[in-house]
Every structure is written in structure tokens, then in C-alpha cells.
Amino acid sequence: MTATVYARVLFAGPDLAEGAFAELFRRQLVALRGEAALADVVDTGAGPDALREAVQASPRPLLVIDLDPQSTPPHLDWLRSELGQCEAPEHLFIASLLGQYDSDPAGAACALVARTELHLACVEVPALPESHAWSCIPPHARRLLLCNGPRCTRRGALPLWKKLRETLKAAGKLECAGGVHITRTQCQYPCDLGPTASLYPEGEWYRLESEEQVLRWVQERIVEERAVPELLMKG
């Protein structure tokens, strides 16, 4: 692919409007691209409509940087198909970190702008399978709801979300028979005791503050099926 000079670059993903991650990302982005770049940040926490509207209103050629921490190749193809329905899709491109970025998310995202070999067009997208994993109820025995409200996010809930998924997957307990379906939520309360995680059907509420506690909770509560009273919230 030859080098493309984009008329605009959009940075799109959840948790980009408020909270600790948003604060970090926006500060880093301003340092790299200037204050005006904040107008190119699109929060998709409420769904894809905001991104679709921003794409429709943007000049071409346009590059969208996908910052969804849960992005996967099927998700990226779905997003390309969705945006390919916008005007002039032949001049619309997407690049994604596929959920892999470190403590410098803005730096990693901005570096993608020059990596034209990683930019994917929104035309001739590979056909999506008739049955998507995201259109099915995942197998599970329990549901873990991790609060990603503004206060819990400021206390580090976003990286804990990633660690929970990684640890459950490594333990063979993520969205499988007898396993755990993990979901991010808005504010669950109590905000002053977060980051808050609630486990159902048991109805147990936990305060998970660090990666070490996440590792312990998965091993003891989920793998070994025993209580972890030290991590329970006091009612």
C-alpha cells in the first residue's frame, strides 16, 4: 500500500470520554498531536453511532484508529463492514491495536498512522460468518460484573478488567462450561470501596484493587472453589 496523506484521523474506542484511561490518553495525545487532536477522539462506550456520525461528517481520505481493548479480528471485520456503508468507503481505512497496548496508548495509536501496511480498507471486507460468537450467549456458570464507572475507572478498573480476562482465560475459566462470563458495567456502587466486582448467582461483592488480588481471586474463588473473605466488601 502506498503512503496516504489523510485528511483526518479519528481515535475511537470505549472509555475515551472520562475516567483515568481517558485522562491519560488525552494528555498523551495532546503532547503528540496538539490540542486540536482532542476533536478527533470518539468515545464508543454507548455504541457505534457516535463513530458512524463522526465518519460521515469527516473529509476523505479518513483513517480510524480502533482503540477497543477487546478488539479481535472478527470485531475489526465487523467494524469495517459497518463503516463501509458510509459515504466514499473506498477512501476510508481502519488500523487497530487489537487490544494490545501498554502504558503509552496514545503513542502506540499515533505510531499506527504512519504504518500504512497495517491500514485496512472498508471495501471488499471478507465475508462475515452467518453465526458470530458475539451473537450467541456464551457458555458460563457464573457472571462477574466489573464496575467501569468513573470512580472505579479512576482507581484502575480498566487494566484490572484486562487482567481478569487474561487470568480467567489462562485458567480455562473464561466463557466456557462451568466458567465465568465477565461483563463491564457502569456504576454499581459503593463508589468509595471500589474497584467493585460482583459475582452471580452467589451475589458476592468484592473489592479488587490490584493485579495481585485479581490473580488470587481467580485462583482461590474460581479455580479452587473456596471463599476469599479478605476480598469481600463489608456490607
pLDDT at 221: 97
In CATH, what number does 8-121 get? Answer: 3.40.50
Tell me yes or no: is domain 137-231 CATH 3.40.1280.10. Answer: no
pLDDT at 148: 84
Write out residues in the chain with pLDDT < 70, as ranges: 1-4, 99-102, 128-135, 235
Are 8-121 and 137-231 the same fold in CATH?
no
Spatial distance between the Cα atoms of 176 and 169, rounded to a whole number of angstroms? 9
pLDDT at 196: 95
Look up residue 6 and give its three cell numbers.
489523510
Listing DSSP states for the chain in one string gives ------SEEEEEETT-SSSHHHHHHHHHHHHHH-GGGGGGEEE-TT-THHHHHHHHHS-SSEEEEE--TT--HHHHHHHHHHHTTSSSGGGEEEEE-TT---S-HHHHHHHHHH-GGG-EESSSPPPPPSS-GGGSPPP-SEEEEEE-SHHHHHTTHHHHHHHHHHHHHHTT-BSSTTSEEEEEES--S-GGG-SEEEEETTTEEEE--SHHHHHHHIIIIIIS----GGGBPP-
pTM recorded for the entire structure:
0.61
CA nearest to 75, candidates 128, 15, 115, 122: 128
**Domain residues of the chain, as ranges?**
8-121, 137-231
pLDDT tens-place string over residues 3-30: 568 999 999 998 899 887 889 899 999 9
Report which residue type is found at 212.
E
pLDDT at 151: 83
pLDDT at 75: 82
Residue 14: asked if its preceding bond is cis (omega within 30°), the reply is no
